[in-house]
Structure 1
Amino acid sequence: MTLATDQEGAAPRTARAAVAHALRNATYEILPFKSAEEKVLAHVPTDVALTVTTTEAKGLGPTIDLAASLSKQGYSAAPHIAARLVRDRAHLSDIVDQLRDSGIDRLFCIGGDAAEPVGDYTDALSLLQGLRDLGHPFSSIGIGGYPEGHGSISDELIERALESKAPYADLIITQLCFDADTTIRWARKAQDRGITLPIRVGIPGAISRQKLIRVSAGLGLGQSARFLKKQQTMFWRFFLPGGYSPNKLIQKLTSAFAEQDNNLRGFHVFTFNDLDSTEAWRKAWLARLT
């Protein structure tokens, strides 16, 4: 299963069919915690593609190891490779070789949250260029999109960065999305600027506020502080009366998935490793739609 071909083809004609297609081919993001592999094997079908996040505290090792192990179990698992954690060309070459030997053919390239880069790669663009120079073997490379902006980078710089990265990539995965209208406007603007990559909208899975607190605590003090800062909008919404559910968001996005003025093609579910409830939620949606 690849992200840039079958799953990312033209949207079905009706809005209902388009959303069913997007949920049927949703990708799940998981954290490289000790219990992650066990939870994936217990609750996630092998036809659900995965991405594995990376953290500054743990480094790239646990991310690559988990992606490799899941790949051997029959999953399509794309590790997040954070540019600021890659030392130099030799280090990047070693990473590419390790992933190739593990049968991994998908990547998600990010700049990363480390305050200072450990080496030559300062952002996702420099990492993408480094992969190009190595003649990488990957069939699909994803990059990040920020419909609701970035906490420390101006909107103008974010837009320019997306335009610069797009020629090296095969798809865009957005940050967590909470406002459907903002996301739709952003996707239309990207298409107007000539960015034609398929877009997967990042949405939270069926996760409780208690689980979110435990996940944050498990990241470690420094990493947790950055996580809280980046996700403050999410925390605010989760602690509203009644909490937060992705259902209304999906309903508001439905019509856009059938339109041709944007490249919205799928959902990327931030599971926070709450995989049993997230998969049950996805199946319930598909049952209603089909």
Structure 2
Amino acid sequence: MTTPQEVAGPRSGLAALVRNISYEVMPFKGTEQAVVEAVPISVPLTVTATEAKGLDATLGLAERLLARGYRVAPHLPARQFVDRAQVSDVLDRLTAAGADSVFVIGGDAPRPAGTFPDAHSLLQVMAEIGHPFAEVGISGYPEGHGSIPRPVVDEALRRKAPLATRVITQICFDAATTRDWASGVGLPVAVGMPGPVGRQKLVRISAGVGLGRSARFLQKQQGLLRRFLLPGSYDPTRLARRLGAVAPGTNLRGLHIFTFNELAGTERWRQRLLDSLAEAR
């Protein structure tokens, strides 16, 4: 027989994760207005960076959202930085804008623009300069990276961790896999997961980042993979609840939602989740 304490454990675990939720947004035309219309300033944001858009698009959107009262962590892609002077200039720019959080990544450029081949090299220079950020995020891959061997990814995380304050994971649809992986990470972990996005888009993204076990996990779930291929949006509630069930007593400290700029739908989903937790209490 299930006791009230056993029921409350997963519920309290989910509540703790939802209290520490953040959204990832992409610096496209209209993103700023979409954020202002849909997202409360209490929800922290990260702003992505791509080679196609360039670093200035990321920094510009981050500055505008900071000016509107949001807490914003811009992605800083190491491979887009040319030299130490540019790093110093960007740190000064973000400091002037009031940023206290960044997310440092290697970046998707096939070749470095300058002297920073990976996130660790950028983190080192940021530390030498004396960056002002209270929070420095780095990426983590519970199922490995789609194009980098697992031992290389694991070693990179080991080297980056002393220069960071938290880890944001790549998408993983298996809560137990995420929990087990996080147990070997000596930092708080925000679990990256998709928001309510079109299923077919999500399948394309998942294939692109090389999700191995997650694809097999989906295939085992009585037609779940088939439902992913139907029209409509993916509902992340089940995954969030599974993460809540495994989170107590671990270093899983929050959810980081990849919104794909579906901001109004993501915020409606968050509010429904909050309402369901309030009703359960």
Give TM-score scaled by structure 1 length: 0.84
Given the alignment, which residue of 244, 266, 273 partners 1:278? 266
Write the letter of the residue equivalent to 1:153.
Answer: I
What residue number does 1:287 align with? 275
SS at 2:170 equivalent:
strand
Q: How does 1:164-179 map to 2 (within 5 A)?
A: 164-179=159-174
What are the ranges of 5 or more consecutive residues in structure 2 without an aligned counterpart? 1-7, 219-224
CA distance in 1, matches of 2:260, 2:210: 13
CA distance in 2, matches of 1:212, 1:149: 18
What residue number does 2:74 align with? 79
Q: How does 1:17-166 map to 2 (within 5 A)?
A: 17-166=12-161
CA distance in 2, matches of 1:228, 1:181: 20
What residue number does 2:242 align with? 252
CA distance in 1, matches of 2:202, 2:50: 16
What residue number does 2:208 align with? 229
* CA-CA distance at 1:239 after TM superposition: 3.8
What residue number does 1:220 align with? none
* CA-CA distance at 1:87 after TM superposition: 0.3
What residue number does 2:193 align with? 203
Q: Is the 8 A contact 1:212 1:272 kept in 2?
A: no
Q: Is the 8 A contact 1:144 1:175 kept in 2?
A: yes
CA distance in 2, matches of 1:156, 1:212: 27
Q: Deviations over 1:104-154 (max 9, x none)?
A: 111000001100000000000001001001001111000000001101111
Write the letter of the residue equivalent to 1:202.
Answer: G
CA distance in 2, matches of 1:278, 1:231: 24
* CA-CA distance at 1:245 after TM superposition: 2.5
* CA-CA distance at 1:159 after TM superposition: 1.1
Write the letter of the residue equivalent to 1:229.
Answer: G
SS at 1:113 equivalent:
coil
Moved over 4 A (4+): 210-213, 231-238
What residue number does 1:263 align with? 251
CA distance in 2, matches of 1:282, 1:229: 26
What are the ranges of 5 or more consecutive residues in structure 1 without an aligned counterpart? 1-12, 217-225
CA distance in 1, matches of 2:151, 2:172: 19
* CA-CA distance at 1:51 after TM superposition: 0.1
Percent identity for Structure 1 against Structure 2: 47
* CA-CA distance at 1:278 after TM superposition: 0.4
Q: How many residues align?
A: 260
Q: Is the 8 A contact 2:17 2:244 kept in 1?
A: no
What residue number does 1:223 align with? none
CA distance in 2, matches of 1:97, 1:91: 10
What residue number does 2:221 align with? none
* CA-CA distance at 1:210 after TM superposition: 6.7
Between structure 1 and structure 2, the one with the greater Rg is: 2
CA distance in 2, matches of 1:227, 1:135: 37
Give TM-score scaled by structure 2 length: 0.86
Distance 1:159 1:212, change over 3 A: closer
* CA-CA distance at 1:228 after TM superposition: 6.4
